[in-house]
Amino acid sequence: NAGVTQTPKFQVLKTGQSMTLQCAQDMNHEYMSWYRQDPGMGLRLIHYSVGAGITDQGEVPNGYNVSRSTTEDFPLRLLSAAPSQTSVYFCASSYLPSSYNSPLHFGNGTRLTVT
């Protein structure tokens, strides 16, 4: 059981480049989300999805796009990378409703550096 798989683990981009962070889960979870973690800031929600074809913005969505064409995959796209997007990115998923009995499962993160 792979759980939540994020690729790549590390990435270095130049300012203005675009890329997609991949997230896949094999638990048939309806809910998927992306967080970014910055030093001294905790984790902040970027975008989330409650099912295929349904996405919504979180706390810090600017500069990122998402889509959910299948239950399993929830890619995060950086359209034009900026140094402010240097961060560690986590994907997480759960059954709905998320709750005490269905907590979030996290991937192992992607460390992104934008120079």
Partner 1 sequence: AQTVTQSQPEMSVQEAETVTLSCTYDTSENNYYLFWYKQPPSRQMILVIRQEAYKQQNATENRFSVNFQKAAKSFSLKISDSQLGDTAMYFCAFMKHRKAYGGSQGNLIFGKGTKLSVKP
Indicate the SS3 state at residue 85.
helix
Give the binding range for partner 1 (CB under 8 A) out of 19-27, 42-50, 64-72, 75-83. Answer: 42-50
Which of the residues 45 through 74 are near partner 1 (CB under 8 A)? 45, 48, 50, 58
Please tell me the distance from the alpha carbon of residue 50 to that of residue 71, in angstroms, as a whole number. Answer: 9
- Choice between 12 and 79, CB closer to partner 1: 12
Residue 34 CB coordination number (10 Å):
27
Indicate the SS3 state at residue 68.
coil
> What is the per-residue binding string for partner 1 in 83-112, x denoting contact by CB under 8 A?
-----x-x-x-x-xxxxx-xxx-x-xx-x-
Counting contacts by CB under 8 A, is residue 113 touching partner 1? no
- Choice between 17 and 72, CB closer to partner 1: 72
| Closest distance to partner 1 from the beta carbon of 43 (Å) | 4
81: exposed, middle or buried (Cβ count in 10 Å: 0-12, 13-18, 19+): buried
